[in-house]
Each structure stands twice: as C-alpha cells, then as structure tokens.
Structure 1
C-alpha cells in the first residue's frame, strides 16, 4: 500500500533538478494524522529552505483502515519500506539521512528510527515526547488526560474531537476544531486502533540507548497530556539541549508555531 504523504517545498514548488535540500519528516502522535500539522509543514519548508514530508501512520488518516501495530518498531519498518526506495516523481530527493521531527507518540517513533537505523537519521527534534525507561507512567500520561481519553473513546465524533482539542491545545479556535471534526469523519480512527496505539506507546523501551544524531528536546510547561519532566529526563540522559515554552499546550505546532520554528532554526545554526 502506498504511504500517504503530505509533500512541502520552499515556496510550494519543487526545487530544480540536481538540488538536494535536507529532507525533514514530520511524525504525528496518538490518533492524529498528517493534516493535523496544519500549515506547519509548509512553514518549516519555507523557514529552513528544505523539503518536508508528513506521512500518515497505519491506523490514522488515509491509512485508518489498517491495524495500528502493537510495536513502534513495526511503524518504523512501515515508514522505511515506503519512503526509502522511492517517493513521488523525485525519488533521489527523499533519500536518507533524514531529519525527523516527532510530536508525542511521533517522538517515540522518531527515537526508534534514529536508534535502530542511525545511518538514516542525522537530526532529531522531539516535541513533548517521553520514554518509558526514563519516566514513570503518571508523567508519560497524566491521570487527568487518561480520564479524558477514556471519555473520548465513548463519545461521538464531535464530542471526541472537542475533548482531544481542549486536552492538547491551549489556543482554542472554532475553525480548527471544525476541521478536526471533518478529518475524523473522513478518516475515522477506530477504538481498537486507539487502544493499540496507546499500548505501543506504553510498551516502547529505548533501553537507555542514546541516538547518534544530534537531538533537540522541546516541551510545553502547561502540557495537560504529558508532563514536561519527561522531555527533561530525555534531555538529561542524552545530554541534549532542552527548550520549554512557558504557556503552550501539548500541541506546540498549533499553539506556538513561531516559537517552535525559532527554536529549531537557532539550534541548527549552532550546529
């Protein structure tokens, strides 16, 4: 099955043949799809003058009919099988090493990719992520967030998306919530896949390994879903820089995209 990928170029147009800009891959989290990045993918491409790919993971988005794997390593295998051999009309421009930006569960997928296939990843940005071997369960998923997710599982589409939106975003915009409801109706994530994704995230262990690629950890002080202490624990174990937004929610690309872009740009300039 062909992987569903949003493809962004600087200015919205592919670069001339023969140019090979760095390729970033954006990885979303639990029960979210590539469209939930909103305009962030294009803004990242324009800011850094790079190509940006945003795939759907099995069980989400255009792949919502597929079962979500119970192991994050299987998600990495799926991504690699679809993205390494060829992509769109310019396969030579999507070859590794990639630069990965993962949000929440997507940060765990990015970590697994960087640890298991280090030659394929040369930069790593983790946003509001966590690792089971470094943080306790009540920090990785706050008890209040677990109760909200449980209510979402038994709610209708509008109710579920409203609960997730309020949980993950501090900046509330009616038109964004309406878009999210439309996405959920077009590509509904099943309750079974929701539980399978929760299990995969809970079970993943990095076994205290440290990625070869330089990494940047970013988190939100007011994250209602994941305690920012989880990002601090990763940054401390990896000896990587940590940036903390003072008041954004879990979905940093939604709440504070300018800050997120500035953090990434400044970090890359330092390397």
Structure 2
C-alpha cells in the first residue's frame, strides 16, 4: 500500500505508527471493519486532512487515536505526546476552578508546557479579555466562555501530534486570537484532522488522505489534489460542514470488545 505520508527518505521521525490496525466501520454492525489493515507511519510535521464520506469512520479514527475507543485489532504506536482533540475538555471535571484545571493539566503535561511557544501571560491575558478568571468554576462559564477556555487550553500545550475533529468554534470569530497562537504552536508538529470544514483545511492542512468507507486508502497527496479527487470520486459527504462531526460518544458507537476493555457507555474509561 503506497501512502504519501511516509517519507521515502526515511529521515523524518514517525509520530504515529499503525501496525496491522483495523477499525470498526459501521455504526449498526460491529463486525464490519477495515477491508485491509493499516501498516504505515505518520511522520513528524505532516498536516493531514482525512477526507471520507463516512462520518462514523471519522469518529472512529479520532477516538481510537485519542484513546477513547479501542481498535478492532492491531495497535497505534506513538513516538511523542498526542494531545486530546483540540477544543475538547481534556478530561476535566466541570466543578474545578479555572486555576485548578490548569494546575492539573500542567502537572500531567509538564514537558509539553515547558516546550510551549505560547506563554502563560498570553494565555491568562486572552482569558481575562473574555472575563474568564482563575477563581471561576468551569460549569459557571457561559457556552462561549467554555468553548474559548477549552480551546485556549488545547493551544497552550506543545504536543507532538494534534487531533482535530470539530473545528466549528476554532474557525469562529471569537476564536480568532487563538488561531494565530495555534499556528505558532503547530510549527514543526504533526496534525491529523477529520474535520470537514473547508476553511480549516485550507488554513491548517497541506496534505490529504482520502479514505473509502471500509478504511481503504484511495488517494493521498497535496490537499488541493486530494479534495479534487474526492469531489470527483466520492459520493456527497453524509455530514454537512456546519455540523462538523458533532458526534456523541454513545454505546452504539463502541466496538464489540469495548466492554472488556474498561470503557463506560459514554466511550470513556
């Protein structure tokens, strides 16, 4: 299987290695998985937009890489730190104060904070502009404040690989100051996106990976070429850009083996 995301020179460092990996491909039938298991590497500094007409496959790929859902079989070997999906809640309890939430994540991801290109002064300054203060409890924030806070947290830490599934708020006007910081943070880092937002792809990605509904790698290459190939060869997307993969982690989305792997009905351990 030829995949452009693997550098023929072998000089770049693989951030993710997919070994005999198979994911569930059908929401209603857990027995349907990859037609051909994946065996390839995602190299450092690649910015890949995954393009497929299957919203369930987009969900599965993001969730398995993030560790929310187990694969059907095989494994993903990580050489570096994978961030939680950008804009997600990072496993935080909504009853925490802002300062305590940051303290917790700073302890868990201390190395990623030390390497960050975004300063804490910048972080707190942007939060204060939105009236998000250290003593405020997360659940007391407004919807827009919560979205801004969780996105700011995703931007603050320097991960080796960033995952993007939902980019609706990221590409909104209120998030504009965070986008420039995120682009700074992404320099030299790996990005894998399942978002269907065309403006996000144009601003943040430079390569595309077109997948069939059973995980077949149909095309890989430059972003424009990949989008053009998908437009000409794939059926219409089954999820509009405005919805942008707003999928729930419910029990019907879990793999058959998940009950034996310590995953709750909501998809988290």
Considering fraction of residues, name the structure with more helix: 1
Higher RCO, 1 vs 2 (CA within 8 Å, ≥6 residues apart): 2
Query: Max radius of gyration: which structure?
Result: 2
Relative to the length of structure 2, the TM-score reads: 0.32
Relative to the length of structure 1, the TM-score reads: 0.32
